[in-house]
């Protein structure tokens, strides 16, 4: 069943990306408002931990490696949940999946604020893993259904709409760290989680009221058939490098910034604006460019991957370059990483969708759920690897070497896509 106001998609062509935009229907406007609220709420909950939780965990005797695992377990559960929920989104229903995911995330955020009352190290670690794992399932439900609904309701302008909505993702990432850091600095550990958790809880009835109902029929396509396509596999590797780098920053940047630049939790939260603000501001324009000029998407991916690789190599900076550590260089490299994230992340989702349809996948919500689930699963793999491996290398060697390794992975992704993607046809 075609979404109201959505044009038909000619199979095996770029008409999905180049069709002229039409005036949005009421159905599309309500969907846009709902997805904006989901992106904002999910990201503000996700990003609140960065400025102060690693240092708070260290005070309770938690090692850098275990802190990385606490961040990483979120991604591991997100990985499994994305595959399952993406496969069964039609049977569950995108509206129910989205609202229930928001509810779970809000409750887990509130519960995380109570962990300060665990004074012994072992119970604190166990509860961190348990609550973060459940929270990851809620986040996965909200984001998997969000991506699929966007692609279903706005088939001719996927990148444009995603780029516009990423403003709200960016706002969540922008407001989460400084708000969390300042509330923590002013009122202690519990207040940031309680305030944001209650705010997200209010978004549940809001979305139940305004999100339109979508109907679809199940399909028999599989993740394996989609994933093994060479072009999709290469694009998934790029997604992995992006999320790995962001996960690494979440788990290690706060401790490094406090130790090396003597910054408070509030200033660390502001420091993280270097990543989220450029991404937030550039995403709408990159979405328009990606939709109007589909042929340049692969070059946006390559350029963004190169920027990410260089950014991580100079973030420490890498010891082999013998560049003095300076705060302005650190902030500038975070900015480069944030802008490169938009260059790479915005074009990838519509590219995978195009590839799926051109290889015989049925057009509809079922396939969009598969693509959303695959995207979320690969992203989660990176956000598990980044903090886990990064925390281990940082503890054994240094932040500078760990950041350099992240940059090296980025260079590998750039070289693979530069040499192969232009020659691979769906």
- Between 50 and 374, name the one with better pLDDT: 374
Spatial distance between the Cα atoms of 200 and 204, rounded to a whole number of angstroms: 7
Q: What is the mean pLDDT of residues 281-300?
A: 83
pLDDT higher than 80, residue 400:
yes
Output the average pLDDT for the chain: 79
Q: Which domain holds residue 342?
A: 24-423
Angle between helices 230-261 and 297-315 (to 10 degrees): 30
Whether omega before 228 lies within 30 degrees of 0, making that bond cis, reads no
194 occurs within a structural domain: yes
76 occurs within a structural domain: yes
Angle between helices 230-261 and 365-396 (to 10 degrees): 40
Most confident segment among 133-142, 211-220, 241-250, 322-331: 133-142
**Percentage of the chain surpassing pLDDT 90?**
1
pLDDT of residue 189: 80
Spatial distance between the Cα atoms of 177 and 172, rounded to a whole number of angstroms: 9
Q: What is the mean pLDDT of residues 136-143?
A: 86
Q: What is the mean pLDDT of residues 135-159?
A: 83
88 occurs within a structural domain: yes
3-class SS string, 262-313: CCCHHHHHHHCHHHHHHHHHHHHHHHHHHHHCHHHHHHHHHHHHHHHHHHHH
* Distance from the Cα of residue 234 to its chain's centroid: 18
Q: What is the mean pLDDT of residues 162-184?
A: 77
18 occurs within a structural domain: no
pLDDT higher than 70, residue 413:
yes
- Determine the 3-state secondary structure of 120 from DSSP: coil
- Determine the 3-state secondary structure of 139 from DSSP: helix
pLDDT of residue 416: 66
pLDDT of residue 22: 55
294 occurs within a structural domain: yes
Spatial distance between the Cα atoms of 67 and 309, rounded to a whole number of angstroms: 24
9 occurs within a structural domain: no
pLDDT higher than 70, residue 294:
yes
pLDDT digits (tens, 9 = 90+) for 7-32: 333 344 344 433 444 577 777 888 88
CATH of the domain at 93: 1.20.1250.20
Other Cβ atoms closer than 10 A to 106: 23
pLDDT digits (tens, 9 = 90+) for 234-278: 888 888 888 888 888 877 877 788 777 877 766 776 777 778 788
Total domains in the fold of the chain: 1
- Where residue 6 falls among pLDDT bands split at 50, 70, 90? very low
234 occurs within a structural domain: yes
Burial pattern 269-300, b for ≥16 Cβ within 10 A else e, equals bbbbbbbbbbbbbbbbebbbbbbeebeebbbb
**Percentage of the chain surpassing pLDDT 70?**
89
pLDDT digits (tens, 9 = 90+) for 347-378: 888 888 888 888 778 777 778 888 888 888 88
15 occurs within a structural domain: no
pLDDT higher than 50, residue 417:
yes
pLDDT of residue 262: 79
pLDDT higher than 50, residue 64:
yes
pLDDT digits (tens, 9 = 90+) for 197-239: 888 888 888 888 877 777 666 666 667 788 888 888 888 888 8
pLDDT of residue 80: 87
User: Which tokens hold the place of 53?
Assistant: 């939780």
Q: What is the mean pLDDT of residues 96-106?
A: 88
- Between 295 and 46, name the one with better pLDDT: 295
Spatial distance between the Cα atoms of 235 and 352, rounded to a whole number of angstroms: 8
């Amino acid at each position: 069943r075609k979404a109201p106001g959505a044009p038909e998609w000619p199979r095996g062509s770029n008409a999905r990306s180049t069709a002229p935009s039409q005036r949005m229907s009421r159905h599309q406007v309500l969907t846009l408002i709902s997805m904006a609220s989901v992106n904002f709420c999910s990201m503000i909950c996700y990003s609140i931990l960065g400025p102060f939780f690693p240092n708070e965990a260290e005070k309770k005797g938690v090692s850098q490696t275990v802190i990385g695992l606490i961040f990483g377990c979120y991604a591991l559960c997100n990985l499994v949940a994305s595959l399952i929920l993406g496969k069964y989104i039609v049977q569950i229903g995108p509206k129910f999946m989205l609202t229930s995911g928001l509810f779970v995330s809000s409750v887990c955020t509130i519960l995380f604020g109570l962990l300060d009352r665990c004074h012994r190290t072992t119970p604190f670690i166990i509860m961190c893993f348990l609550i973060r794992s459940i929270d990851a399932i809620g986040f996965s439900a909200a984001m998997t259904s969000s991506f699929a609904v966007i692609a279903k309701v706005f088939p001719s302008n996927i990148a444009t709409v995603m780029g516009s909505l990423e403003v709200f993702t960016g706002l969540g990432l922008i407001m989460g760290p400084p708000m969390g850091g300042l509330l923590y600095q002013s009122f202690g550990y519990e207040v940031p989680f309680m305030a944001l958790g209650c705010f997200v809880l209010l978004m549940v009835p809001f979305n139940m009221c305004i999100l339109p109902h979508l109907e679809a029929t199940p399909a028999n396509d599989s993740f394996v058939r989609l994933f093994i396509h060479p072009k999709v596999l290469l694009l998934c590797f790029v997604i992995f490098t992006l999320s790995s780098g962001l996960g690494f920053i979440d788990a290690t940047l706060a401790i490094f910034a406090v130790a090396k630049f003597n910054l408070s939790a509030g200033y660390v939260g502001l420091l993280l604006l270097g990543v989220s603000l450029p991404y937030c501001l550039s995403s709408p324009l990159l979405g328009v460019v990606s939709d109007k000029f589909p042929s340049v998407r692969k070059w946006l991916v390559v350029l963004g991957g190169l920027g990410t690789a260089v950014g991580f190599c100079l973030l420490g900076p890498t010891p082999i370059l013998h560049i003095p550590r300076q705060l302005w260089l650190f902030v500038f490299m975070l900015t480069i990483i944030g802008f490169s994230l938009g260059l790479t992340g915005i074009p990838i989702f519509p590219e995978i969708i195009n590839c799926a349809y051109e290889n015989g996948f049925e057009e509809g919500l079922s396939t969009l759920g598969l693509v959303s689930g695959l995207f979320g699963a690969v992203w989660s793999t990176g956000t598990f690897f980044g903090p886990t491996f990064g925390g281990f290398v940082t503890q054994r060697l240094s932040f500078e070497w760990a950041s350099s390794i992240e940059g090296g992975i980025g260079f590998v992704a750039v070289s693979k896509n530069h040499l192969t993607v232009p020659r691979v046809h769906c």
